[in-house]
Amino acid sequence: MSETKLSHIHSQQHYSRAKQLMPGGVNSAARAFGAVGGEPIVFERGEGAYLFDVDGNRYIDFIGSWGPMIFGHQFEPVKEAVHAAVERGTSFGAPTVAENELAELVIAAVPSVEMVRLVNSGTEATMSAIRLARGYTDRDLVIKFSGNYHGHVDSLLVAAGSAAATLGVPNSPGVTEGTSRDTLVLPYNDCARLTETFKNHGDSIAAVILEPVCGNMGCVIPTPEFLQTLRQTTENSGSVLIFDEVMCGFRVAHGGAQEIFGITPDLTTMGKIVGGGLPLAVFGGKREIMQHVLPAGKVFQAGTLSGNPIATAAGIAMLKALRDQPPYEYLEGLSHKLESGLKAAAESNGIEHCIQRVGSMMTLFFQNGPVTDWDSASKSKTDQFSKYFWGLIDEGVYMPCSQFEALFISAAHTNEDIEHTIKMAGRVMSEFAG
């Protein structure tokens, strides 16, 4: 490991001030480093594959704002589009041509989507999709899966993953019993439990929502049998199948996870990449279902800043770049290289591990795998992950600050970045293995 630890004195000063201004000093619980100990690093800027903190330290960034920076920080087409949009005005509260253009790009890319509604966050998208499914089916019950995170929607904060799992608060205070009563929580990848639940409650189930590539209990992958059972069971019962692709949409493939797995959901939620890194998300799907959204139908949904012209400009530039210069082959090469290198580093140091990856999303679990659901994910050695995380920080590599978050590789990363990361990971592992 580095002989000298990086200085974070200015980060510490800023964070101390932040704790007086914001609960826990952060605006999202996942940023608080609760899973790894210590205090969060405060950043000043990003450039390409790198982040720079307020102390002047540079890190190879494997978070990418939790996914949207698929071309790296300060991607020139997005920067130019945002600057041009600002010159025209920041918000109108009225329709714009850009909304049409972004909608057309999403519909053209994603197999299941015939109509969309633009919103401001992934949470809004999943909340609205659930409401729509209930309104469309005139049913109440929704199935979600333990370890899947769908934003801070009251009815879905039941056995949640991500920050909630990390903090040991699977059920948030403030969520009423009545709110969560209509949510059924099942194990991920468990076909038998799914089939049994539909046998008992099928006529009352409005929707099933899942992450088709999990990123919030680490990268967990659905089995083909599980996906096929989901699709067949929901179709037979008249329930709505919702893919939450807020994280993996446009990330694992241009058409998202549904393109890779060949499963067509009824509704899809997307965020992060679709807004080019700005606050924007969408939900969309079959025209027959989407026509139930107000004002075409009666299911209420609204947002003063939805379709914001700055965010839509960023999203259009991002989706055009993904269409016209797709990075997926390059990302696959880099991702495979990192996966192989981390596996070799763990093996050479005798460390129990399991690496799971879909495209440029990946997690190194500190346990023997496979990891198929929240129960198996939770067996990971989080103390080892913490040592790994902080060891890499001192080597200038910024990984997700939780065992239960996927890392992301960008097209701005180079082979040299990957090789350096593998070398440093091996060095760090040798320290705590010894």
> pLDDT tens, 56-96?
999 999 999 999 999 999 999 999 999 999 999 999 999 99
Domain check: are 129 and 265 in the same one?
yes
Active site residues: 149, 244, 272
Of 324, 348, 377, the position where a domain reaches its end is 324
Of 324, 344, 365, the position where a domain reaches its end is 324
Taking the C-alpha atoms of residue 34 and residue 36, their distance in angstroms, rounded to an integer, is 6
Domain check: are 136 and 187 in the same one?
yes
pTM listed for this prediction? 0.95
Taking the C-alpha atoms of residue 97 and residue 120, their distance in angstroms, rounded to an integer, is 18
Domain check: are 363 and 240 in the same one?
no
Q: Is residue 68 part of a domain?
A: no
Taking the C-alpha atoms of residue 198 and residue 351, their distance in angstroms, rounded to an integer, is 41
Taking the C-alpha atoms of residue 175 and residue 154, their distance in angstroms, rounded to an integer, is 6
Domain check: are 52 and 115 in the same one?
no
Range of the domain at 40: 9-62+327-433
> pLDDT tens, 168-223?
233 677 877 777 788 999 999 999 999 999 999 999 999 999 999 999 999 999 99
Q: Is residue 93 part of a domain?
A: yes
> pLDDT tens, 392-401?
999 999 999 9
Domain check: are 227 and 87 in the same one?
yes
Count of the separate structural domains present in the chain: 2
Domain check: are 98 and 225 in the same one?
yes
What's the CATH code of the domain at 424? 3.90.1150.10
Of 268, 300, 324, the position where a domain reaches its end is 324
Residue 179 is predicted with a pLDDT of: 77
Domain check: are 202 and 175 in the same one?
yes
Domain check: are 41 and 108 in the same one?
no
Q: Which residues contact 169 (CB under 8 A, 6 or more apart)?
A: none
Domain check: are 19 and 41 in the same one?
yes
Q: Which residues contact 247 (CB under 8 A, 6 or more apart)?
A: 66, 67, 122, 211, 213, 215, 216, 271, 272, 361, 406
> pLDDT tens, 264-283?
999 999 999 999 999 999 99
Q: Do residues 206 and 240 touch, judged by C-beta distance below 8 A? A: yes
Q: Is residue 1 part of a domain?
A: no
